[in-house]
Structure 1
Amino acid sequence: MIDSTNLLCNINKLHPDCDYLVCFIYNPAGFVSNPTDLINDLESQSNSVSVIIKPTF
Protein backbone atom coordinates (compact mmCIF):
# COMPACT_ATOMS: atom_id res chain seq x y z
CA MET A 1 0.00 0.00 0.00
CA ILE A 2 2.82 2.41 0.81
CA ASP A 3 4.42 1.86 -2.61
CA SER A 4 1.12 2.57 -4.35
CA THR A 5 0.55 5.73 -2.36
CA ASN A 6 4.14 6.87 -2.97
CA LEU A 7 3.50 6.42 -6.68
CA LEU A 8 0.40 8.61 -6.45
CA CYS A 9 2.39 11.29 -4.63
CA ASN A 10 4.99 11.29 -7.41
CA ILE A 11 2.33 11.47 -10.12
CA ASN A 12 0.86 14.43 -8.26
CA LYS A 13 4.22 16.24 -8.53
CA LEU A 14 4.47 15.58 -12.26
CA HIS A 15 0.93 16.41 -13.35
CA PRO A 16 0.64 20.13 -14.11
CA ASP A 17 -3.09 20.35 -13.38
CA CYS A 18 -2.92 18.68 -9.99
CA ASP A 19 -2.25 21.12 -7.14
CA TYR A 20 -3.22 18.93 -4.22
CA LEU A 21 -3.70 15.20 -3.64
CA VAL A 22 -6.01 13.76 -1.00
CA CYS A 23 -5.57 10.03 -0.29
CA PHE A 24 -8.43 8.29 1.47
CA ILE A 25 -7.53 4.86 2.79
CA TYR A 26 -10.54 2.79 3.83
CA ASN A 27 -9.42 0.51 6.65
CA PRO A 28 -12.50 -1.38 7.92
CA ALA A 29 -10.58 -4.49 9.01
CA GLY A 30 -7.76 -2.61 10.71
CA PHE A 31 -4.99 -3.81 8.39
CA VAL A 32 -3.21 -0.47 8.81
CA SER A 33 -1.87 -1.15 12.28
CA ASN A 34 -0.24 2.24 12.83
CA PRO A 35 -2.23 4.83 10.87
CA THR A 36 -0.51 7.83 12.45
CA ASP A 37 2.94 6.73 11.28
CA LEU A 38 1.65 5.97 7.78
CA ILE A 39 -0.04 9.37 7.54
CA ASN A 40 3.09 11.16 8.78
CA ASP A 41 5.33 9.23 6.39
CA LEU A 42 3.22 9.95 3.31
CA GLU A 43 2.44 13.57 4.15
CA SER A 44 6.11 14.33 4.85
CA GLN A 45 6.93 13.62 1.19
CA SER A 46 5.05 16.65 -0.08
CA ASN A 47 3.30 19.76 1.19
CA SER A 48 0.51 19.12 -1.27
CA VAL A 49 -0.60 15.69 -0.01
CA SER A 50 -3.15 14.90 2.67
CA VAL A 51 -3.88 11.38 3.90
CA ILE A 52 -7.05 10.26 5.66
CA ILE A 53 -7.41 6.76 7.12
CA LYS A 54 -10.85 5.69 8.39
CA PRO A 55 -11.83 3.96 10.51
CA THR A 56 -8.90 4.04 12.88
CA PHE A 57 -8.65 1.56 15.72
Structure 2
Amino acid sequence: MKTLVDQALREGLRQLQTPAPKEPFQTDSVSVGRCLIANLDNIAEALERADDEPLQ
Protein backbone atom coordinates (compact mmCIF):
# COMPACT_ATOMS: atom_id res chain seq x y z
CA MET A 1 0.00 0.00 0.00
CA LYS A 2 2.86 2.39 0.87
CA THR A 3 4.45 1.88 -2.56
CA LEU A 4 1.15 2.55 -4.32
CA VAL A 5 0.61 5.79 -2.36
CA ASP A 6 4.20 6.92 -3.02
CA GLN A 7 3.81 6.30 -6.76
CA ALA A 8 0.48 8.14 -6.85
CA LEU A 9 1.96 11.11 -4.99
CA ARG A 10 4.99 11.25 -7.27
CA GLU A 11 2.81 11.13 -10.39
CA GLY A 12 0.49 13.81 -9.01
CA LEU A 13 3.41 16.09 -8.17
CA ARG A 14 4.89 15.55 -11.61
CA GLN A 15 1.61 16.70 -13.19
CA LEU A 16 1.42 19.77 -10.92
CA GLN A 17 4.75 21.15 -12.02
CA THR A 18 4.32 24.44 -13.83
CA PRO A 19 5.40 24.65 -17.45
CA ALA A 20 8.48 26.62 -18.41
CA PRO A 21 7.80 30.37 -18.48
CA LYS A 22 6.88 31.80 -21.86
CA GLU A 23 8.88 34.49 -23.55
CA PRO A 24 7.92 37.92 -22.13
CA PHE A 25 5.30 39.82 -24.13
CA GLN A 26 6.56 43.06 -25.60
CA THR A 27 4.80 45.85 -27.45
CA ASP A 28 6.33 48.33 -29.83
CA SER A 29 6.48 51.95 -28.72
CA VAL A 30 5.02 54.72 -30.84
CA SER A 31 5.85 58.41 -30.81
CA VAL A 32 2.68 60.46 -30.22
CA GLY A 33 4.41 63.82 -30.32
CA ARG A 34 4.80 66.39 -27.61
CA CYS A 35 2.25 67.08 -24.89
CA LEU A 36 -0.17 69.86 -25.94
CA ILE A 37 -0.77 70.96 -22.35
CA ALA A 38 2.13 72.69 -20.62
CA ASN A 39 1.10 71.72 -17.08
CA LEU A 40 -0.97 68.63 -16.28
CA ASP A 41 -1.32 69.66 -12.62
CA ASN A 42 -4.45 71.67 -13.45
CA ILE A 43 -6.90 68.92 -14.40
CA ALA A 44 -9.71 71.39 -15.16
CA GLU A 45 -7.52 73.06 -17.80
CA ALA A 46 -6.53 69.70 -19.24
CA LEU A 47 -10.17 68.57 -19.51
CA GLU A 48 -11.22 71.87 -21.06
CA ARG A 49 -8.44 71.61 -23.62
CA ALA A 50 -9.38 67.99 -24.37
CA ASP A 51 -13.04 68.97 -24.94
CA ASP A 52 -12.01 71.69 -27.41
CA GLU A 53 -9.75 69.42 -29.47
CA PRO A 54 -11.36 67.72 -32.50
CA LEU A 55 -11.09 63.92 -32.60
CA GLN A 56 -8.67 62.68 -35.22
User: TM-score higher than 0.5 here?
Assistant: no
Q: Which has the higher contact order (CA 8 A, sep 6+)?
A: 1
Q: Larger C-alpha radius of gyration, 1 or 2?
A: 2
Structure whose residues are more often strand by fraction: 1
Structure whose residues are more often helix by fraction: 2
After TM superposition, the score normalised by the length of structure 2 is 0.28
